[in-house]
A and B are shown apart, each in its own frame.
Chain A
Amino acid sequence: AQTVTQSQPEMSVQEAETVTLSCTYDTSENNYYLFWYKQPPSRQMILVIRQEAYKQQNATENRFSVNFQKAAKSFSLKISDSQLGDTAMYFCAFTPQETSGSRLTFGEGTQLTVNP
């Protein structure tokens, strides 16, 4: 069974600053995908970024980037130039690649507040 851990229940950052959210996971799988989802107050789940475990290059989507350390089973999210609209709950999630249509396993979430 896979587990995903987010050890920071809450974080805050000043507008325009950079913040990093942490995520660790545990799995015996060798091939898998990792995701960060954003959940604003509307509670919609929005995909922010994904990382394939077989790729060594860290994924980047505009102001969002990840630091993927496969050996350490760590997958952190960096948000650059933070904006007020980034205020949300952020969930790290895992799914194995070998089995199609597998469940996403989520972490507990980190509530990020961007202050003006």
Chain B
Amino acid sequence: EPEVTQTPSHQVTQMGQEVILRCVPISNHLYFYWYRQILGQKVEFLVSFYNNEISEKSEIFDDQFSVERPDGSNFTLKIRSTKLEDSAMYFCASSEVSRGSYEQYFGPGTRLTVT
């Protein structure tokens, strides 16, 4: 069964450093998403991406964040200058969004620790 994959599973970085989180969505899906979950809290939407551009972003997704689909398979989230409060689990998701199918399928997540 096709699945969303994410790398790395755990990333440790120092405050102020740039990080890139990588995702490979399910191959026939058209919409891609990033979510964040701070430990012990609910899952929060960051951004959605369709047709090579951002379709929606939340107030969390400020200028420190950017997304890119550098090739036909990868979808990346870049945090330019990490802060301590960026420590969280980051989930990539994808959806087909054909009629009758609105499920979003999640990857296993990348745990980002900012020290």
Chain A residues within CB distance 8 Å of chain B: 33, 35, 37, 42-47, 50, 52, 91, 93, 95, 97, 100-109
Contacts and interface: CB of A to CB of B under 8 A. Distances in A.
Interface of B: 30-31, 33, 35, 37, 41-45, 48, 50, 55-56, 58, 89, 91, 93, 95, 97, 100, 102-106, 108-109, 111
Most chain A CB inside 10 Å of its own CB: which residue of B41, B56, B102: B102
- Which label, helix, strand, loop or mixed, suits the secondary structure of the B interface? strand
Given A43-B109, A44-B109, A91 B42 contact: yes
B42 A104 contact: no
A50 B44 CA distance: 19
Contact of A103 (B33, B91, B108, B109): B33
A108 B40 CA distance: 9
B103 A47 contact: yes
A37 B58 CA distance: 21
B102 to A, nearest CB: 5
Contacts of B42: 91, 106-109
B45 A105 contact: yes
Nearest to B44: A106
Contact of A45 (B50, B56, B95, B106): B106
Nearest to A35: B103
A51 to B, nearest CB: 11
A102 B105 contact: no
A43 B89 contact: yes
Contacts of A105: 45
B58 A103 contact: yes
A106 B43 contact: yes
A68 B55 CA distance: 30
